[in-house]
Structure 1
Amino acid sequence: MSFNIALGGLRAAHKRLEVAGNNIANVGTVGFKSSRAEFSALYSSARLGSGRDAVGDGVRLANVSQNFNAGDVFSSQGHPLDMRIQGNGFFVVSDRGSVGYTRAGAFVKDANDFIVDSHGRRLQGYGANSQGDIVAGVRTDLKIDTSNLAPKATSEIGQVINLGSATPSLATLPLFNPADPSTYTKVITRTIQDAGVAAVPAVTGAGGAVVTPARPAVPPADHELKQYFVKTADDQWNVYVTVDGLSPTDPASHTPLQWSMVKRPDGTLVYTGGSQHIKKLSDTEFSLTRWVPAQQQGGVWKPGPAASGGPVSLPLSDGGVNGVDERDPVMDRPVPLFRPADAESYSTVFSSKIFDSQGNEHELKQYFVKDGVNSWQMHLLINDRNPMDAQRTEPYTASFLFNADGTVSSMAGGSGLELDNQTLTLKGWVPSRLVDAGKSTARWITNGAVANPEGIRIDMSRLSQHNAETARSSLQVDGHSPGLLSGMSIDASGTIRASFSNGLYRNIGQVMLAQFANEQGLQPQSDSRWTETIESGAAVYGTPGAGSLGSIIEQSLEGSNVKLTEELIELIQAQTAYQANSKVISTEGTLMQTIIQAT
């Protein structure tokens, strides 16, 4: 029996050498998991048991267990499809329908654009539809779609806009002009007289000589006084005064005297401006003092010789004309004529890139013009041209009114801008391009593309007017130019994303992982992979990062988990065991030889 026990020991030592040698051989194999030989003692069994003095029958191999701890990590720059599982799980690969599992994440793209390992087995995962949405739950061979990204015409513009409430209105009163009745509300005309010039007797000197000749008296002359009233608000007026169409205090100037008035709720008037020549006598009358009568000499107005004759009454009403009638309309405040090249004709502008059906890029601009306290207009141009006819520059226009709290009170579309539930839809855009730029023959022509047939929806539901900076945020514009595949990336969830030359991205699939109830039950196969068995339990599939599954690290690989120093020690121990068992056999042989010689 000693021979059999020693032979069993030799076989066990040899198995330890085999396992350690295999581990050492695969110290550089990606995704390799080391193994360990496990042994159990043998004892003879009898009907009544072995007894307390049983010696034993040697050893046998009980199991070769696998070490599924993570291996060393090393990066693999320049290999975009290299992946490493950080945590639990296995990659799933398929070889003509035969499914295997591996931790080796060195994958490449084959000639048919499938993602495969070095042996051509296809990586399994979840595909993506044409919109880039992952189709979860349906296992498939992952394939890289290398086709170009087709252009898409813009159909939606989303944005958050605040129009600063402190922005000054571009609507201003027209410049006062006595010759233009549209620049004032009412005028009161009266005739006033100067004091005339008294007669001057002759002055004689010694001997009766006339030193200064006598001058006859000049009777008082008539002058035309006009009071112009401009109603600037419900209870505010500007007043302008001229005499003979000139400044009452400086005949060489055509600038009238001016002051402003505010009527309080109790009917009293408060005035500001004017000069020392304007005095308030009551809530219905002012006066003009020290005015200078003028006369025209040689076509030039100059101060005349006559005195003013004292203060002149300036009543606010005269006969049937009431200059401060509350029923009069407030003077219109027109805004400047809008011209995109004139920054003074708009308050602010926001620009967006949009695309036609061929992927040509255009610039849509929204010019905002504040035309009242809580009132704005928006002028829309594409390439600074009319959207429907690029030969013209007239914009599409919409208008907005705001409540006191800055929210939109109402909005109105216009020609080419249809309003529907706080969304303006741009209709009728004809994409165009400029030809012969810089020449006298320069002109705009259609470029052969079309706009989105449903128009471009411009979301204005997040428009406000608050006391903050005029700004736009959260701009979202769909549509894009065509794109060529330029790269790939893989995120922690295993989603494979393709990048294109136009700066866009699209999901093309998601890596799936598998886990097992008993990893030790997996059957090792060549090429660093395993197959499931009854002992391992059925594979449970999922996405990286879900549940207890690990995440994916791109451009990184998991190396072998073999610890070389431990394996070298294992070799020495196995060698020692082998030598010791050999010694048992040789000793047993010596004993047998002695017995034979003694007989």
Structure 2
Amino acid sequence: MTFFTAISGLNAASKNLAVTGNNIANANTTGFKQSRAEFADVYASSVGGVSKTQPGTGVRVTNVAQQFSQGNINATGNNLDLAISGEGFFSLGTDATSDQPSIYTRSGEFKLDKDGYVVNNQGNFLMAFKPNGTTVADGFSSGVFQPLRVNAEQGSPVASSALAVSANLQSTQTTPVSSPVDPTNPDSYNHESSMTIYDSQGNSHIASTYYVSQSPGTPNTWEAYLFIDGKPFNVDGSLATLPLDGSQTSITMTFDTAGKLTAPLGQTSYGAIASTDIDPNLNVDDLAFSVDFTGTTQFSSVFSVNNLAQDGLPAGNLTGISVSDEGIVFARFSNGGSTPLGKVALSRFANPQGLTKLGDSTWAQSADSGERVPGEPGKGSFGTVQSGSVEASNVDLSEQLVNLIIGQQAYQANAQSISTENTITQAILNIR
């Protein structure tokens, strides 16, 4: 029986060396999790149980358990490379029609396939939660999985809806000698500011505001007149009378004695402006926007524009992909806009060591792992996602080399047990 005890030791030591060798071989494998061989002693039992003088009949390997500790996160510079910092697995589907993940991994080496889907090196599809709309504020459906896809369509234009102007209107200015306001006559206004705005098709237009001082008749008061592409518009959105006759309505701006704006405060809305009033050949949605003059002052210093801003966008081409720490994947466009394509779906398990090993640094759910728990990066116990990085293997080479020495000694010791047992057996057989 001693031979078989030593043989079990050889088998166990061999398995331990194989596990250690596999760890060493995968020291540079992205997302790899090291394993350890776990052993248990073996006793021959009988009806009466194991005798207290029973020496044991060897050892057996009970489990090769993977260790899901965090690996180092290494920067790669590739935006589609992803690393999880904390708990969770990337969720993968096997084809473009998958509506539930079936494969899980910590390896975040992703790329685009010929159809624009985000896949790993084995062609499995990265699953994401479906966006509810076109902005992050619309949220994501955390129960609706879909393969993440990047399309090369143009970024849709966005009509301007909010304008902001901050300027200093020179307090020493007086009412112009000419009226009404005429962009071609600098003597009909005191100051002017312009910005580019966009309609529903992404066409650009120049929105100009002409400021007219009411001093000395009405001190600390200015009138602001709106022109779009050189056409005058009233506050209600209608086209002012042409030729200009002084009936164009304006926004009245008042300041206190310290030169701070007292009215209007916040946003002032213009009525809907018909595109055909701007250009008879233009057929787009009516322009409807507000203007916010917050920050505008009336000081004695020369006129200056401190801020011009608007929220419209022209059409744009896809320029890149970015991923936030919360796992939101954005398509970035040349017009400065961005569209959320989805939110990377993570999964966790009550017992990760119970997952079925599939190879390629991937796993599948099993009865031992427990049911998959889906979640979003950075929420609850789920880790965050780092773009442009991958998680390295968690193998410690120094530790594995020490384990290699220990495993070798165990193997040699069991081999010596067999050699010793053989010598004893020979001695017994040679007795005459």
Counterpart of 1:139, as a letter, is F
SS of aligned partner of 1:456: coil
CA contact (8 A) 1:169 1:373 kept: no
Per-residue deviation, residues 234-260 of structure 1 (Å, max 9, x unmatched): xxxxxxxxxxxxxxxxxxxxxxxxxxx
Which residue is 1:128 aligned to?
A: 131
Of the candidates 347, 352, 361, which is equivalent to residue 204 of structure 2? 361
Which residue is 2:273 aligned to?
A: 427
- State which drifts further: 475-484 or 88-97: 475-484
Matches within 5 A, 1:88-487: 88-96=87-95, 97=98, 99-128=102-131, 131-132=134-135, 133-137=138-142, 138-154=144-160, 156-159=161-164, 161=166, 167-168=171-172, 170-171=174-175, 337-340=180-183, 345-371=188-214, 372-386=218-232, 396-400=248-252, 402=254, 407-408=262-263, 422-430=268-276, 446=279, 448-453=281-286, 455-460=287-292, 477-487=310-320
CA contact (8 A) 2:103 2:364 kept: yes
Tell me, in whole angstroms, the C-alpha distance in 1 between the residues paired with 2:282 and 2:141.
37
Counterpart of 1:120, as a letter, is G
CA contact (8 A) 2:171 2:220 kept: no
Counterpart of 1:458, as a letter, is S
CA contact (8 A) 2:201 2:284 kept: no
Tell me, in whole angstroms, the C-alpha distance in 2 between the residues paired with 1:409 and 1:110.
54
Tell me, in whole angstroms, the C-alpha distance in 2 between the residues paired with 1:76 and 1:403.
55
Which residue is 2:53 aligned to?
A: 53
Tell me, in whole angstroms, the C-alpha distance in 2 between the residues paired with 1:559 and 1:390.
70
Tell me, in whole angstroms, the C-alpha distance in 1 between the residues paired with 2:416 and 2:70.
40
Per-residue deviation, residues 242-287 of structure 1 (Å, max 9, x unmatched): xxxxxxxxxxxxxxxxxxxxxxxxxxxxxxxxxxxxxxxxxxxxxx
CA contact (8 A) 2:274 2:285 kept: no
Per-residue deviation, residues 421-468 of structure 1 (Å, max 9, x unmatched): 942225234486xxxxxxxxxxxxx48433432x32224585877779
Which residue is 2:236 aligned to?
A: none
SS of aligned partner of 1:425: coil
CA contact (8 A) 1:423 1:461 kept: no
CA contact (8 A) 2:171 2:298 kept: no
Counterpart of 2:283, as a letter, is V
Counterpart of 1:407, as a letter, is T
SS of aligned partner of 2:285: coil
Alignment of 1:572 onto 2:405: yes
Tell me, in whole angstroms, the C-alpha distance in 2 between the residues paired with 1:464 and 1:386.
22
CA contact (8 A) 2:40 2:62 kept: yes
- Give percent identity, aligned residues only: 33
Change (3 A) 1:121 1:52: same
Change (3 A) 1:108 1:403: closer
Change (3 A) 1:150 1:404: closer
Change (3 A) 1:73 1:408: closer
CA contact (8 A) 1:375 1:401 kept: yes
Change (3 A) 1:80 1:394: farther
Tell me, in whole angstroms, the C-alpha distance in 1 between the residues paired with 2:134 and 2:244.
37
SS of aligned partner of 2:289: strand
Tell me, in whole angstroms, the C-alpha distance in 2 between the residues paired with 1:450 and 1:74.
52
SS of aligned partner of 1:538: coil
CA contact (8 A) 1:145 1:508 kept: no
Which residue is 1:86 aligned to?
A: 85
TM-score, normalised to structure 2, is 0.84
Matches within 5 A, 1:492-507: 492-507=325-340
Per-residue deviation, residues 23-79 of structure 1 (Å, max 9, x unmatched): 1221221111010001112223344443433312211112211111122332222x3
CA contact (8 A) 1:37 1:61 kept: yes
Change (3 A) 1:394 1:550: farther
CA contact (8 A) 1:408 1:464 kept: no
Tell me, in whole angstroms, the C-alpha distance in 1 between the residues paired with 2:308 and 2:341.
26
Q: Note the C-alpha offset of 1:390.
A: 12
Change (3 A) 1:590 1:352: same
Matches within 5 A, 1:486-525: 486-525=319-358
CA contact (8 A) 1:126 1:134 kept: no
CA contact (8 A) 1:109 1:115 kept: yes
SS of aligned partner of 2:19: helix
SS of aligned partner of 1:407: strand
Tell me, in whole angstroms, the C-alpha distance in 2 between the residues paired with 1:336 and 1:390.
14
SS of aligned partner of 2:68: coil
- State which drifts further: 491-500 or 383-392: 383-392
SS of aligned partner of 2:406: helix
Change (3 A) 1:84 1:56: same
Change (3 A) 1:508 1:431: farther
Q: Compare the two structures and name the one with the higher helix fraction.
A: 2
TM-score, normalised to structure 1, is 0.62
Counterpart of 1:171, as a letter, is T
Counterpart of 1:135, as a letter, is F
Counterpart of 1:579, as a letter, is Q
Tell me, which stretches of 5 or more residues in structure 2 are unaligned? Answer: 234-238
Which residue is 1:20 aligned to?
A: 20
Q: Quick check: which has more Rg, 1 or 2?
A: 1
- State which drifts further: 88-97 or 9-18: 88-97
CA contact (8 A) 2:172 2:300 kept: no
CA contact (8 A) 2:166 2:308 kept: no
Counterpart of 1:157, as a letter, is A
Q: Note the C-alpha offset of 1:335.
A: 6.5
Q: Note the C-alpha offset of 1:339.
A: 3.7
SS of aligned partner of 2:424: helix
CA contact (8 A) 1:426 1:458 kept: no
Q: Note the C-alpha offset of 1:87.
A: 1.4
Tell me, in whole angstroms, the C-alpha distance in 2 between the residues paired with 1:144 and 1:474.
35
Change (3 A) 1:58 1:379: same
Q: Note the C-alpha offset of 1:540.
A: 1.4
Tell me, in whole angstroms, the C-alpha distance in 1 between the residues paired with 2:409 and 2:190.
92
Counterpart of 1:428, as a letter, is A
Tell me, in whole angstroms, the C-alpha distance in 2 between the residues paired with 1:561 and 1:110.
29
Q: Note the C-alpha offset of 1:486.
A: 0.9
Counterpart of 2:154, as a letter, is N
Tell me, in whole angstroms, the C-alpha distance in 2 between the residues paired with 1:551 and 1:568.
32
SS of aligned partner of 1:598: coil
Tell me, in whole angstroms, the C-alpha distance in 2 between the residues paired with 1:357 and 1:22.
60
CA contact (8 A) 1:516 1:536 kept: yes
Tell me, in whole angstroms, the C-alpha distance in 1 between the residues paired with 2:351 and 2:219.
74
Counterpart of 1:144, as a letter, is V
Counterpart of 1:99, as a letter, is S
Aligned positions, number:
411
